[in-house]
Amino acid sequence: MRIDIITIFPDYFAPLELSLIGKARAAGILDIRLHDLRSWTHDRHSTVDDTPYGGGPGMVMKPQPWGEALDSVTAGADAPPRLVLPTPSGTPFTQEHAKRLSREPWLVLACGRYEGVDARVPADAERRMPVEEVSIGDYVLAGGESATLVIVETVSRLLPGVLGNAESAVQDSFASGAMENLLEGPVYTKPAQWRGQEVPPVLLSGDHGAVDRWRRHEALRKTARNRPELLRELAARRMDELERSDRELLLELLEQMPGE
């Protein structure tokens, strides 16, 4: 996969040289290219923003450097990339969204700043490439760089060969299957006893069926505590697909949850 990132702070993305993503880049699985938006400005101050039409606080990123940047980055391509703009006003970025993006051969991520990017930029880009605005949460950041790091890492770890054990992605929170979109339960490693706390005996039993059942039940319990709305969604959509013991625990947890 190729990922182009356009930003006024290329140094922000030094972490992409590290850990799994850094290894994936070195192995040729992931081709990440950084571009400084100011390279497409033409005044001595490398200006990328201006005051908003209609008045109001803050500054808006100018369309000219963005338009030229996107023209240059995508020039000569046989097939257009998908342009992703992180913004608090975008659609929620979910694990399912990440799976869909991981199937794209080429992404361009545009890091906005200030009050955002002139609305004509995505409108112009849509003439030649698919465009989507995404939000990583209901809060406002100083710019799109942090959100872009989240998106790149979430998408990249789903690519074949990035994780040392591909099964890890399957067992993550929000993974696929009848109990998708649930939180992952607690995990443990050696030693079996630590500061008076013991690893649950079932994990030491060697009974894989019992271990799988315990993990599913713990996922249900943790989701009930931290994200009860996800448990209600599971009950509404996929109750019939669950194993009997899972259904019984789910119904018990739903009865214990306060009504809305």
pLDDT at residue 39 in the model: 98
Residue 161 lies in a domain: no
Q: What share of the chain in percent tops pLDDT 90?
A: 90
> Per the residue annotation, which of 68, 104, 115, 218 is the catalytic one?
115
CATH number where 133 lies: 3.40.1280.10
Q: Average pLDDT, stretch 132-151?
A: 96
Q: Could you tell me how far CA 124 lies from the centroid of its own chain?
A: 25
Indicate whether 7 pLDDT > 70: yes
CATH number where 178 lies: 1.10.1270.20
Backbone angles phi, psi at 179, to 5 degrees: -105, 35
3-class SS of residue 143: strand
Among this protein's residues, is 172 annotated catalytic?
yes
Name every residue whose Cβ is closer than 8 Å to that of residue 28 and which is 6 or more positions away in sequence: none
Q: Are residues 140 and 175 both part of a single domain?
A: no
Q: Are residues 96 and 212 both part of a single domain?
A: no
> How would residue 181 be classed by pLDDT, with cut points 50, 70 and 90?
confident
Name every residue whose Cβ is closer than 8 Å to that of residue 216 and which is 6 or more positions away in sequence: 179, 243, 246
Residue 166 lies in a domain: no
Q: Are residues 114 and 184 both part of a single domain?
A: no
Upper half-sphere CA count for residue 123 (Cβ side, 13 Å) = 5
> How would residue 23 be classed by pLDDT, with cut points 50, 70 and 90?
very high
pLDDT at residue 165 in the model: 60
Q: Are residues 234 and 197 both part of a single domain?
A: yes
Q: Model-level pTM?
A: 0.88
Domain ranges, residue 190: 171-256
Indicate whether 260 pLDDT > 90: no
> Per the residue annotation, which of 52, 88, 153, 247 is the catalytic one?
88
Annotated binding site: 112, 136-141
Among this protein's residues, is 258 annotated catalytic?
no
Among this protein's residues, is 88 annotated catalytic?
yes
Final residue of a domain: which of 108, 127, 156?
156
Least confident of 102-106, 110-114, 161-165, 217-221: 161-165
Q: How many CB atoms lie within 10 A of CB 185?
A: 17
C-alpha distances (whole Å) from 193 to each of 84, 197, 207 are 47, 6, 20
> How would residue 259 be classed by pLDDT, with cut points 50, 70 and 90?
confident
The answer to whether 20 touches 157, Cβ cutoff 8 Å, is yes
Q: Are residues 81 and 32 both part of a single domain?
A: yes
pLDDT at residue 129 in the model: 97
Final residue of a domain: which of 121, 156, 191?
156
> What's the pLDDT tens digit per position in 58-96?
999 999 999 999 999 999 989 999 999 999 999 999 999
> Per the residue annotation, which of 36, 49, 132, 172 is the catalytic one?
172
> What's the pLDDT tens digit per position in 42-68?
999 999 999 999 999 999 999 999 999
Quickly list H helices, the chain.
19-26, 63-74, 95-102, 120-125, 144-156, 167-170, 208-226, 228-238, 244-256
Average pLDDT along the chain: 93
Q: Are residues 14 and 77 both part of a single domain?
A: yes
Residue 163 lies in a domain: no
Among this protein's residues, is 198 annotated catalytic?
no
Annotated binding site for S-adenosyl-L-methionine: 112, 136-141
**12 is written with which tokens?**
């922000």
**Domains in the chain: how many in total?**
2
